[in-house]
Structure 1
Amino acid sequence: MLVSFVKFRTIPRFLNINKIIVRKYNVPRRALMYVPGDDPKKISKSLTLDVDCIALDCEDGVAVNKKREARETIRSFLDKGKPSKDRDYDFGVRINAFDTEYWQEDLESCLTAINLPDTILIPKVETADTIKQFSEEVKQRIKSDKKINVIIYIESARAFLNIVDICKTAEGLSKTSNIQPVSLVFGSDDFCANIGATRTESSIEILYARQKLVLVAKAFNLQAIDMVYIKYKDLEGLKKQCEEGMKMGYTGKQVIHPGQVPIVQEAFLPSASQIEWASGLLQSFEKHQKDGKGAFTYKGSMIDMPTMRQAENVIKLANLKKT
């Protein structure tokens, strides 16, 4: 029997076990859907969809002469507030890369809105200095302890050489600043262009990079979001690539068309064995809490709070599977 996720929402938001702090549950991001920030109709449409993560785009999805319009349109939607749905979802903004002239205006616009976005997505991160600079910019604009989720894009050879340092820096800053890293994204097309690779249907040319991103993401308890499937009308091909990515350990996929959302979100639901593991873990946690015990073992492993969050994630997805 599935354990109700609602039952475990009663766990205190900040519960100190072995000096590990439980943070607010991170929403699943099976489908991360880009919506051009300069198109209010498409943004309004996206808010009616059952999608885990909406990324209002200031970057690749917006022409250079439309950057300002996108910024202003996104700001107007943020001012109105995040529309409520039957379940939680991520409402974020993808800013322009730090090697452009646009990113500071993007940040200024969305971080001074009446309502902050849940998440900022930072493309083309190549060194830890970008994360440090981003953290300082956020600190200057948010005069509270409010946390902003951060999704980091790895899209070049240099980025992959520095990926561990990037994640270490983001993890460290999460303890002292307003940023909370939640996901790594594999930007496959920019990566291929950067290294001069020729794209193939099998994607063998990017296999190493694709697997490395998952490895590092999991080492830092981050979600791993897979590459875009550009043939948006080929749903069979999309499903196949989703299943391939999930077997590698990816937890979600970038989406460029609403028609891709159902396929992607179904593909990244947990298996029966994952549900059984998570259910048992959370039941064991509840028992140990009632007995006044902190740290505990489950099936031979010492359980910490990142593992607890993973179990909660599985159960929340399992409950979505039932609906």
Structure 2
Amino acid sequence: MLLWRYKNSLLCLRTFIRQTAVAGVYGGQTESQSKPYTPRRAVMYVPGNDQKKIQKVTSLDLDCAVLDCEDGVAANKKEEARSTIRRALDECDFGLTECVVRVNSVTSGLMEDDLGEVLGAKRMPDTLMLPKVERPQDIDMFTKRLKEVLQGRQLETRPFLITYVESAMGLMNLRDVFKKTIDLQLKEQLYVLDGVVFGSDDFCADIGATRTADAKELLYARQKIVTCAKAFKLQAIDMVHIDLKDLEGIERQSLEGARMGFTGKQVIHPSHVPIVQRAFSPTQEQVAWAAELVEAFSKHTESGKGAFTFHGKMIDMPSVLQAKNILQLSANIGPTQG
């Protein structure tokens, strides 16, 4: 009976989330538009100039496919990547997978051409990713160019925008970058800020750190990014695990990231996708616990009594909020086994 009740609760929550996805609860969205919460457990990069890989990614059980114009594409293949991505947007069926385009950075001198070509497609990407954001002025320049490209175009829904932290300066200015982006979001109505990605390799190079297996050298940066993202109700995407053969390592690092509060992780190989998505998903046991706790809390509230215990533990509001978060996530992605 309890199992049926929590499954029914998930269906109700899914409907509620899709109807209220922009009420300031999810993704930093602050005004009404009909967009659901978008899970990004595994965020996989695909070189924009590789048509075969783009086609292959559409067949994967993947949350988020990033068609890349930036680091995944050689300098002499940038133009090819733009035109290939433009065709893919109109010709490929990505199904439930979020279709994302990562343009080059503002300072690269390539972003303008990326946006001009890619957004010439009939279909808009679901999300745009802007790498190497260091200052609020970068968002000003990006927004100005996006406005020029979209001039006169009627958008059914605005794309999400996800920025990157890849340097010490970007980390120190993250709060101001978010504030500027949200200000421009409300003013220009061109995008909806929805998350931030930690570009760990560029960050390490910038601060002169050496990458290690346990990534202790990145602990401060990861924690600050998560904290700042959650303060603005944004998703936080964790670093890439660069050892393709170390499946145990990526599972360990993914579980660690999930415990820290990250909502997903970058991946660069299809074999990593199921491992990462499982790590960032609630288990059936967790969902059952959450549903039972929320039900117990509801009955307790109706009774008007004081503090209560659940499974031998005193319950406070943070515990209830954690349970509700588990149910809300499961409503979008479903529980996993174990």
State if a TM-score over 0.5 links the two structures.
Answer: yes
2:7 is the counterpart of 1:3: yes
2:272 is the counterpart of 1:260: yes
2:53 is the counterpart of 1:47: no
| % identical aligned pairs | 43
The TM-score, its normalising length taken from structure 1, stands at: 0.84
Q: Which residue of 1 aligns with 2:255?
A: 243
Contact 1:279 1:315 in 2 (8 A): no
Matches of 2:227 and 2:130, distance apart in 1: 20
Question: 1:276-295 alignment to 2 at 5 Å?
Answer: 276-277=289-290
TM-aligned CA deviation for residue 10 of structure 1 = 4.1
Computed over aligned residues only, the root mean square deviation of the Cα atoms, in angstroms, reads 3.1
Contact 1:198 1:205 in 2 (8 A): yes
Q: Deviations over 1:175-204 (max 9, x none)?
A: 332111111111110000001111111211
Q: Which residue of 2 aligns with 1:208?
A: 220
Contact 2:14 2:332 in 1 (8 A): no
Matches of 2:294 and 2:133, distance apart in 1: 35
Q: State the secondary structure of the residue aligned to 1:25.
A: coil
Question: 1:65-214 alignment to 2 at 5 Å?
Answer: 65-80=76-91, 82-84=93-95, 88-142=96-150, 143-145=153-155, 146-176=157-187, 177-214=189-226
Matches of 2:79 and 2:22, distance apart in 1: 44
User: Structure 2 counterpart of 1:167, which letter?
Assistant: F
TM-aligned CA deviation for residue 27 of structure 1 = 1.2
Equivalent of 1:13 in 11, 19, 24: 19
Contact 1:26 1:182 in 2 (8 A): no
When the two structures are aligned, how many residues end up with a matched partner?
A: 303
Contact 2:44 2:266 in 1 (8 A): yes
Q: State the secondary structure of the residue aligned to 1:175.
A: helix
User: Structure 2 counterpart of 1:199, which letter?
Assistant: R
Q: State the secondary structure of the residue aligned to 1:107.
A: helix
Residue ranges of structure 2 left out of the alignment (5+ in a row): 25-29, 299-315
TM-aligned CA deviation for residue 269 of structure 1 = 0.5
TM-aligned CA deviation for residue 13 of structure 1 = 3.4
User: Structure 1 counterpart of 2:336, which letter?
Assistant: K
Matches of 1:3 and 1:97, distance apart in 2: 43
Contact 2:21 2:37 in 1 (8 A): no
The TM-score, its normalising length taken from structure 2, stands at: 0.80
Q: Deviations over 1:288-321 (max 9, x none)?
A: xxxxxxxxxxx758x99xx99985334212x253
